[in-house]
Copies of this chain bind each other. A is one copy, B any other.
């Protein structure tokens, strides 16, 4: 995986792909599927809605670390599978044949099969709203991957695959951070 400038990490999430979020509670790795995420800044600061109903939440709260991994459409059945079983009784890396890769800044693993990974630190937990605020500290993109289309959860059990890309950089120049 090639390092991505951390200032560009928000572009991995802004379009709203379903993501995998990994944690390590000190004993074992776990993964959850999350589509309730939000970019909050170019910094990059992200929000994620989760809470005690997700088994990963206790590891997230305890370690204050996670990795956001961006899967592509060829991984959809693994993504849905990860989201419909629990780390309480399942080793999801083993069950779904995903490969944990050691990161640089956090103990939660990157996922080798994903097109991108963002190592994150928890900077706040807004209990009232079940919002976890994350700061991306290091980002990576697999440039060699052929399938690069991400998938967007509709919420009703269907998923929208990325279609064509339209360029409006010139129209938006005044609003873009430098270097993008």
Contact = CB atoms under 8 A, between A and B. Distances in A.
A11 B77 CA distance: 20
Interface string A159-171: 1111111111111
B163 A163 contact: yes
Interface string A121-141: 000101011110100000000
A158 B176 CA distance: 11
A63 interface: no
A143 B10 CA distance: 33
A8 B158 CA distance: 13
Q: Counting chain B CB atoms within 10 Å of each CB, which of A11, A73, A151, A152 scores highest? A: A152
Nearest to A166: B159
Nearest to A176: B157
Contact of A38 (B49, B159, B163): B49
A87 interface: no
Contact of A84 (B39, B77, B171): B171
Interface in A74-108: 76-77, 80-81, 83-84
Contacts of A173: 157
Contacts of A167: 157-158
A52 interface: no
Contact of A14 (B8, B35, B45, B124): B35
B35 A153 contact: no
Given A14-B152, A39-B49, A157-B171, 15 more contacts: A14-B36, A14-B154, A36-B40, A40-B129, A47-B131, A73-B166, A76-B166, A76-B168, A84-B174, A156-B176, A157-B173, A158-B169, A160-B164, A160-B166, A163-B163
